[in-house]
Amino acid sequence: MSTGFRILNREHSVSSDLVAKFARLPVANVSDSMHRMTAGGPRLIKMHREGVLAGPALTVKARPGDNLMLHKAIDMAQPGDVIVVDAGGDLTNSLMGELMLAYAIRRGVAGFVLNGAIRDADQFIAMNLPVFAVGITHRGPYKDGPGEINVPIALDGMVIHPGDLMLGDSDGVLAVPIDAAEEVYAKTAAKQDAEARQMAAIEAGTNDRSWVDAALKRLGCAMPEGN
């Protein structure tokens, strides 16, 4: 085994049932249910037109500006996989463009999270596969390696293991560890129910706002008379 230039098998993967359940939940609420401690960072922005990202991670660690391992990952991907690439956040060369995107769609890839750049940006909008990346450049990639597939990677401190659940919407990208996915889903579903009740109270004009003044007083905030 050659650390830094190797391809491994993915041993575990989040279930398709959980993927479908999470796909209906806002990423922000899933994040809240994980104590707001995990995020892919604000540099990862949506490159597609609309739609959510949800699926098990197929991880890639690539040399900045090189997409040899990304090509191999697309060949290896199972339908529904999200290919997650740590290429160091470099924007000098793109990692993929229109042709790779079309091939990935044909392969059934559910989306991409790229710590690097894309090119052919208009086609990413037109084809509308969920893709998050950190930038755009017309300069193409190299194909020399090295790199690794199905190893733990990290994006802005967010650790992703092969098979973890990847989520993305207009608020950003989040990884849910496979071993915690059931628990996080239960917490998020409960939060969704609570927010639905709160929205109903807002619409009915019965929303309780007493907690605001209670928090201010508890924190010692000076307030005018009568408040």
Q: What is the pLDDT of residues 17-33, one digit of tens each?
A: 999 999 999 999 999 99
Give this prediction's pTM. Answer: 0.95
pLDDT at position 10, please?
97
Is residue 115, in this structure, part of any structural domain at all?
Answer: yes
The 10s digit of each residue's pLDDT in 23-62 is 999 999 999 999 999 999 999 999 999 999 999 999 999 9
The verdict on whether residue 195 carries a ligand-binding annotation is: no
Q: Rounded to an integer, what distance in angstroms lies between the CA atom of residue 220 and that of residue 211?
A: 14
User: Domain for residue 222, yes or no?
Assistant: no
Q: Is there a binding annotation on residue 97?
A: yes
- Domain range for 48 is 6-186
Name the domain count of the chain.
1
Residue 69 burial (C-beta neighbours within 10 Å; 0-12, 13-18, 19+): buried
Q: Is 119 annotated in some ligand binding site?
A: yes
Q: Would you say residue 102 lies in a domain?
A: yes
58 annotated ligand binder? no
pLDDT at 122: 98
Is residue 95 assigned to a domain? Answer: yes
To 10 degrees, what angle do helices 68-76 and 98-107 make? 20
Task: Tell whether 202 is covered by a domain.
Answer: no
100 labelled ligand-binding = yes
